[in-house]
Structure 1
């Protein structure tokens, strides 16, 4: 797999498409230039609180993959995308099974840090807040530690291939995202109490985790083959 380091805005990163002529799978190690609230493809901007996001100086962005809202802070998260063309050995027509190998790679990366984990192999979990907040529910291939979601994975499939978007945090605080959404104070309090134990993070080991998952994703073809680094996005 080709390894590419990408910087820039979250909006520009989500606008990247899977190239039709992609020769090999690619790993995009993304480091955003600023925080943002990222909405799922089925959500619109009214999901976010305009007043809260403006007060926090947070951009609101929609991604093309499914799932609920995600709060992204470059100082507190690891974000890796994996792009798999249809002709690649990792491609699968089965949407659920197509992501298991990626979840297993995250498990091996966590094991390098001495962290035991579990792979979720069920279908998309239906929970009270799952359509609103990404980390409120589990999806195929996602990774748990002690029963709590640690790695979130969303997927977008096109005629060119599949793009898997992965994120893990240093710590999980449901109000990081809930405080930016347009909801009543009562619903926010209920959701916060329900989601407090749903997910977890890796503490101050984000840099170690990024290094470990990148090594896991590229080691199958020998030393990392670094493609040209795209120019910074503005």
Structure 2
């Protein structure tokens, strides 16, 4: 599965910035080979997939239905519940911060709160008022099933509904943040990818868990890059 790569015009000084375009699983499987500088990857998926967390049991998935509606089932290397990724309704960015860089933080929670603050600044510059969740992650059956059903440090909410999910993967070289901003919130398009048993008593909570920002991709990208410059 080939991934097309291109430098990001008007990037951030001191960062390696690029666009990555390809299949959802291929994008999640990409490894950063250059940790000399922090990097930002703007991901453009070419297909639709439900992406499971690194340790999430796929027994919750109705594979027959997924095949019927031509939606892939992928897996990422960071934890948490499933995220529906498609070319329209999600703005997906991965960031890499090397150990020892001024933005590196040994505290996992504090690092995520920094990441969320950058996004809050970006969206604020576009007229969107959001709240950074600054409390510990609470694990429950909803959060284990669906990413947007959880509330983790750094994630953004509007009126208690999640708009931005953040996950981390840490290695000896640094940290990879995976950020998913909802530009559309239509769980009716993907909730049936889960088995009836897995969503029992949770379906209404899934619908109520998230919301979205009504922004265009180019303005979100510009706002985020400017916020990174200020970080």
Please, which of 63, 69, 75 is the counterpart of residue 76 of structure 2?
Answer: 63
Whole-angstrom distance in 2 between the partners of 1:189 and 1:210? 37
Task: Provide the secondary structure at the position in 1 that maps to 2:190.
Answer: helix
Alignment of 1:67-146 (within 5 A): 67-146=80-159
Please, which of 55, 64, 73 is the counterpart of residue 51 of structure 1?
Answer: 64
Whole-angstrom distance in 1 between the partners of 2:90 and 2:218? 9
Whole-angstrom distance in 2 between the partners of 1:44 and 1:15? 19
Deviates more, 1:24-33 or 1:197-206: 197-206
2:25 maps to: 11
2:46 maps to: 33
Task: Provide the secondary structure at the position in 2 that maps to 1:53.
Answer: helix
Q: Which runs of 5+ in 1 are unaligned?
A: 222-234
Whole-angstrom distance in 2 between the partners of 1:115 and 1:174? 22
Pairwise CA RMSD of aligned residues? Answer: 1.8
1:210: how far off? 2.6
Alpha-carbon deviations, 1:184-229, whole Å to 9, x = none? 3xx6363221122221101253442232113322x249xxxxxxxx
Matched, 1:168 2:192: no
2:10 maps to: none
Tell me, yes or no, if the aligned pair for 2:146 and 2:206 is still in contact at 8 Å: no
Whole-angstrom distance in 2 between the partners of 1:149 and 1:205? 18
Alpha-carbon deviations, 1:170-189, whole Å to 9, x = none? 232333332111233xx636
Q: Which runs of 5+ in 2 are unaligned?
A: 1-14
1:201 maps to: 212
1:110: how far off? 0.9
Task: Provide the secondary structure at the position in 2 that maps to 1:213.
Answer: helix
Alpha-carbon deviations, 1:3-58, whole Å to 9, x = none? 11111111111112233x51111010000111111000011433321111101101
TM-score calculated relative to the size of structure 2: 0.87
Determine which structure has greater relative contact order: mean sequence separation of CA pairs < 8 Å that are 6+ residues apart, divided by chain length: 1
Tell me, yes or no, if the aligned pair for 2:89 and 2:185 is still in contact at 8 Å: no
Q: CA 1:170–1:39 in structure 2 vs 1: closer, same or farther (change >3 Å)?
A: same
Deviates more, 1:41-50 or 1:78-87: 41-50
Tell me, yes or no, if the aligned pair for 2:93 and 2:178 is still in contact at 8 Å: yes
Deviates more, 1:75-84 or 1:203-212: 203-212
Please, which of 161, 172, 189 is the counterpart of residue 148 of structure 1?
Answer: 161
User: How many pairs were matched up?
Assistant: 217
Matched, 1:213 2:227: no
Whole-angstrom distance in 2 between the partners of 1:44 and 1:197? 23
